[in-house]
Structure 1
């Protein structure tokens, strides 16, 4: 480790080691782990305590000859108050006394998942199981209708309803969420290989509280498995880590699941890249074959090559003549617009000249008139007024006639009229020029249209020639195939090398390093404690009748190797009686270590169903029960509930207060 890493914490040191082992930058390591929810967890978890305090239920058991669905039957009730220590449900040799059903009812209320036989569940009407979780008194209160539970979990200390449920699935989900949160547990991520092979994404899922709770129950159905009742998804290993509070264990599992997913994605990406390359190669070969066939067919069409070239030339001529005709027509429109504007100006100027000349003639005419009456009031103009005009004053308004008819005004009016006449002449000349341009443009447009029509006619005539259509179509086929071949031989040729697998490969390297390094840390911790657990297993195993037991090796994967009678055995090769005893003593040994160290997360509750049914004689069974009593005395919070048909042997060990014993030939309920 470098000096820089020496001062960092254990999580930072682990991240740095992952980066070094995977050869990825530290920021990439952090991003990959965050993306795949792989969290470094090294703190020892806080232990929790679970204690069953009471169980009560009632219902109706149908008569042996009753018809399915018939109402009524024999009523039954059961109630039992419990506490810490060893407790026992027993009968005197009768196997159908209801012992296992009591255990399953309690387990149903604790884990939410029912292991009851269907008929027994349908007999029930009410179920009430009290338990303490870290000292808080809780009650599961259920009304059962047609085998379906409806009820709630309530804190009897505060009266608060903590969980409501209605139905089998809802009950399991509700207890799952409640117990995981209260016990500080997390769902166990799982990944299974897909049926389609390594390139298919793995089937992922989660094991939750019912899977954890399998460690609470030792029964015949799970004897072949050292811890719990299910070996799938590495559950025994996780339970071992749960007993011992192993740090880094969840990190190792999260990294392993994520690595399976990434490896499947990488395998699929590589398969797709290979498949795509092969598909492109096959496509190129097929296109080349089709191109060769098309070229051969084109070559077989003799004598049509010149015609085809002429047609192409005719297409070119038609396109060129069409552009010229359009340009000529645009020129006609532009010249016509100019001509129309000038013609409008000419008409306006002609009108203005005419108006000016009319005004000049009107003034001259009116100045020669002698008025006889006033044009406003019809008053007669007498001779005296006429005489005044001789003096230079108007006979009507008395104004100075010399000023009104000054020569300057007449000159100005005449000059304006002359200017208008000159402008009219100039505009007329422009109009004539525009008309000439228009005529020329129209002639050019007509000529261009004639050329275009000629090109159209020649093309239509050429297209009507025999064999040309077939060759033209074949030429197009060849051109398209040549383009496709060139495309796949050109820019598509580098696709195989351009498939970017680097991100997935980098993520896989990070996750593989994270799993390995977390596993190393987890294993180092377990090695320190497994030796003590192995010694306890040997001592208690000999006390339970395995006199030939010499040594055991408890693996970090929850495997057990046994040396007895001078031979080495695996746990799975032992007899059922030997498996039962070793499973019990292994569970007890792990419990003892957890309580000694104060880090085990196992909640301190154990159910043992029928421990005397598997080749265990009376003396060995009593030894086992005494050891359980000793263990519960050593750990006051521990509770063990045993169900057995060997009541005669058990009642010598377990006090009457801690035991429910069915009378001979009778049921517990």
Structure 2
């Protein structure tokens, strides 16, 4: 950190905030900051190191290429210092190798290194790395082009990982710590890198596309969180024709935020979260106010329709109430009908019993009349007992006994001989007449009882129908639909009354307490401003921003000198000065005139970007911190250079930089012949005869 500027502690920041708030309660201030996830603990010096020690790839090269169609395997040993992936021809696979490595390090291939025709060639990628002092191996298995399954291995020591052959994963001290399917690969790698490198996401606030402007001219915005994929732009550099110094976007001043992060500016991450939290709070307040204004205008437009709607709802409520039946009367009707059913059931049972007894009597008289005419023995006893069962033992007198009585003249009850039949025709006729009269009487009785039973059944059926009708009327009156409709209409009336009260200050006979309360003037606060979240966040943002800006200016002043020296060494001609400001503008002077970054040629833009990143590394190392991971992947730094001497100068500068700065690892690609003059053979990755790598 800067010797001139001290880093304030958390308690000092809280003291400054509470003082500006008017001696507010520090505990209350801390509680509000904590509620928004803000921790102002003084940061510790960063120690971010990322070194690639081995890159291993397997795949199948499509047919129809210039050479080496079919399966391929790459096994590239790497380490700290400068490295060149070189060939004497174009389309040799140099950028594709960087793309494969970036996929393992980023969880998604770096777009600037991507060559569409080679993406499907890679079936397996392995990168053995040290991240923050931890040995790890990222294994990507591509079942579909660009959609790998990932496995993350770790080991007690790096040599244990490097000793594994090809796709091997088993060895002493080696273990699988995590894995992910294609949709989660980027998140897994990003989380691992962020945790091990001690990085925090950067939040920026950006306007929502298509959002309307408010009265203050501002659009509703949303938070964008930038994590490892965006930070990777400070590691992966190329000669693409873009106009952004660092990072994927300039929204929210992301380039300068990245520089502050990799220069380890104190409280830089906290400032981005404070700004985001405050903007979110302000936006919510603005939305509340806007909704209130819109509601007020809407209420003015809706007063008359509300009155009409209320009158209609009240009339419907009256109609529904008038149409509601008398539930008590319906209950009484059901009870009366139920009692009538019970009485009719009893009467029906009595009539049915009488009918059954009459039927039995009639059947007995029919049998007696039939036997009297068929048997002289029966005629003899017509006036005597004609039992159905023995009067002593209750056994039935069956037809066999009756037949014996007819044929053998033995009593069917006691089996003794019957007396001789008197030969008196008049007596016999008289006996038959008596039995016929008895039969007629029993038949008449059965007919009467049947008529009574039928009448009782009809009466019972009518009673049951009356009960069902009464029960149905009660059920209909109690139905959920009727009550629900009544309740909904009542609620509609209440809602419309409340809406009309709020819209026009009218009570319409309801909600008088609410109307009275709304008519009371709002008491204006007196004394100091109340302590609310937005006010605390605003003051905290001011205090932290002062700290961040002061340290940024000091570090940027030092960084400006590094950028100028490195860019000149990389061949950026006529560059007179650089004055990086807090808005992320380079403010370069070239050939004596102002020269914005977007006006540089593509090759010079890449060299300025390299100068900015290398400058950050140098400033950090000089101050004893490892704020940048130290890895640089540079694709074709001399691709557009037409002067051989300048190309040689650029490559020599990059090689010297990779050797001179402690802990830096620089991997470049090139087709320049000067690579073989500058880089030692063991630092060059190339194919056979300097041609295709695979």
- What TM bracket, shorter-length normalisation? 0.5 to 0.7
Q: Classify 1:9/1:551 alpha carbon distance in 2 versus 1 (closer, same or farther; 3 Å).
A: closer
1:350-429 to 2 correspondence within 5 Å?
A: none
Could you say which residue in structure 1 is the equivalent of 2:686? 661
Aligned residue for 2:75, secondary structure, equals strand
CA–CA distance in structure 2, aligned partners of residues 664 and 132 of structure 1: 32
Could you say which residue in structure 2 is the equivalent of 1:207? 226
Deviations 1:579-630 (A, max 9, x none): 1221111211111111111234211100101111134632222222222222
Could you say which residue in structure 2 is the equivalent of 1:97? 92
1:130-145 to 2 correspondence within 5 Å?
A: 130-145=128-143
After TM superposition, give the deviation of residue 663 of structure 1 in Å. Answer: 5.8
CA contact (8 A) 2:81 2:663 kept: yes
After TM superposition, give the deviation of residue 60 of structure 1 in Å. Answer: 0.9
Could you say which residue in structure 2 is the equivalent of 1:55? 55
Could you say which residue in structure 2 is the equivalent of 1:113? 108
Aligned residue for 1:560, secondary structure, equals coil
After TM superposition, give the deviation of residue 178 of structure 1 in Å. Answer: 1.2
1:519-598 to 2 correspondence within 5 Å?
A: 519-598=545-624
CA RMSD across the alignment:
3.5
1:255 aligns with 2:280: no
Q: Classify 1:100/1:548 alpha carbon distance in 2 versus 1 (closer, same or farther; 3 Å).
A: same
Q: Which has the higher relative contact order, 1 or 2, with Cα contacts under 8 A spaced 6 or more apart? A: 1
Which of the residues 170, 180, 183 maps onto 1:169? 183
1:14 aligns with 2:16: no
1:508 aligns with 2:534: yes
Gaps of 5+ in 2: 1-6, 158-171, 312-492, 501-505
Q: Classify 1:167/1:143 alpha carbon distance in 2 versus 1 (closer, same or farther; 3 Å).
A: same
After TM superposition, give the deviation of residue 231 of structure 1 in Å. Answer: 2.8
CA–CA distance in structure 2, aligned partners of residues 78 and 236 of structure 1: 35
Could you say which residue in structure 2 is the equivalent of 1:599? 625
Could you say which residue in structure 2 is the equivalent of 1:484? 508
Could you say which residue in structure 2 is the equivalent of 1:378? none
CA–CA distance in structure 2, aligned partners of residues 239 and 163 of structure 1: 30
1:196 aligns with 2:211: yes
Could you say which residue in structure 2 is the equivalent of 1:30? 30
Deviations 1:504-537 (A, max 9, x none): 9932222122122211101111222222221122
CA–CA distance in structure 2, aligned partners of residues 605 and 14 of structure 1: 34
The count of residues paired between Structure 1 and Structure 2 equals: 469
After TM superposition, give the deviation of residue 34 of structure 1 in Å. Answer: 1.3
Q: Please, what TM-score do these two structures have when normalized by structure 2?
A: 0.61
Aligned residue for 2:618, secondary structure, equals helix
Deviations 1:191-229 (A, max 9, x none): 332343467864234222121122101113374221234
CA–CA distance in structure 1, aligned partners of residues 220 and 524 of structure 2: 19
Deviations 1:454-500 (A, max 9, x none): xxxxxxxxxxxxxxxxxxxxxx9xxx997428869943644895899
Which of the residues 212, 217, 227 maps onto 2:246? 227
Which of the residues 74, 77, 97 maps onto 1:78? 74
CA–CA distance in structure 1, aligned partners of residues 211 and 242 of structure 2: 33
Q: Classify 1:511/1:538 alpha carbon distance in 2 versus 1 (closer, same or farther; 3 Å).
A: same
Aligned residue for 2:668, secondary structure, equals strand
Aligned residue for 1:554, secondary structure, equals coil
Q: Classify 1:74/1:506 alpha carbon distance in 2 versus 1 (closer, same or farther; 3 Å).
A: same
Deviations 1:263-304 (A, max 9, x none): 111001111222333344445566789999xxxxxxxxxxxx
CA–CA distance in structure 2, aligned partners of residues 63 and 555 of structure 1: 52
Deviations 1:45-72 (A, max 9, x none): 322211111111121112139xxxxxx9
CA contact (8 A) 2:52 2:129 kept: yes
CA contact (8 A) 1:41 1:251 kept: no
Q: Classify 1:515/1:102 alpha carbon distance in 2 versus 1 (closer, same or farther; 3 Å).
A: same
Aligned residue for 1:553, secondary structure, equals coil
Deviations 1:20-79 (A, max 9, x none): 3345543442232112112214324322211111111121112139xxxxxx96111212
Q: Classify 1:619/1:282 alpha carbon distance in 2 versus 1 (closer, same or farther; 3 Å).
A: same
Gaps of 5+ in 1: 1-7, 66-71, 293-475
CA contact (8 A) 1:91 1:663 kept: no
Q: Classify 1:665/1:639 alpha carbon distance in 2 versus 1 (closer, same or farther; 3 Å).
A: closer
Q: Classify 1:290/1:539 alpha carbon distance in 2 versus 1 (closer, same or farther; 3 Å).
A: closer
1:266 aligns with 2:266: no
1:285-304 to 2 correspondence within 5 Å?
A: none
Could you say which residue in structure 1 is the equivalent of 2:468? none
CA–CA distance in structure 2, aligned partners of residues 16 and 258 of structure 1: 20
Could you say which residue in structure 2 is the equivalent of 1:354? none
1:242 aligns with 2:264: no
CA–CA distance in structure 1, aligned partners of residues 136 and 308 of structure 2: 80
Q: Classify 1:499/1:171 alpha carbon distance in 2 versus 1 (closer, same or farther; 3 Å).
A: farther
Q: Classify 1:580/1:290 alpha carbon distance in 2 versus 1 (closer, same or farther; 3 Å).
A: closer
Aligned residue for 1:180, secondary structure, equals helix
After TM superposition, give the deviation of residue 542 of structure 1 in Å. Answer: 2.1
1:644 aligns with 2:639: no
CA–CA distance in structure 2, aligned partners of residues 655 and 547 of structure 1: 28
Residues 154-163 or 43-52, more deviating: 154-163
Deviations 1:303-329 (A, max 9, x none): xxxxxxxxxxxxxxxxxxxxxxxxxxx
Q: Classify 1:626/1:290 alpha carbon distance in 2 versus 1 (closer, same or farther; 3 Å).
A: closer
Q: Classify 1:136/1:275 alpha carbon distance in 2 versus 1 (closer, same or farther; 3 Å).
A: closer
Could you say which residue in structure 2 is the equivalent of 1:310? none
Q: Classify 1:568/1:41 alpha carbon distance in 2 versus 1 (closer, same or farther; 3 Å).
A: farther
Deviations 1:216-249 (A, max 9, x none): 0111337422123433443312220122111010
Q: Classify 1:125/1:498 alpha carbon distance in 2 versus 1 (closer, same or farther; 3 Å).
A: farther
Could you say which residue in structure 1 is the equivalent of 2:162? none
Could you say which residue in structure 1 is the equivalent of 2:45? 45
Q: Classify 1:580/1:504 alpha carbon distance in 2 versus 1 (closer, same or farther; 3 Å).
A: farther
Q: Classify 1:166/1:642 alpha carbon distance in 2 versus 1 (closer, same or farther; 3 Å).
A: same
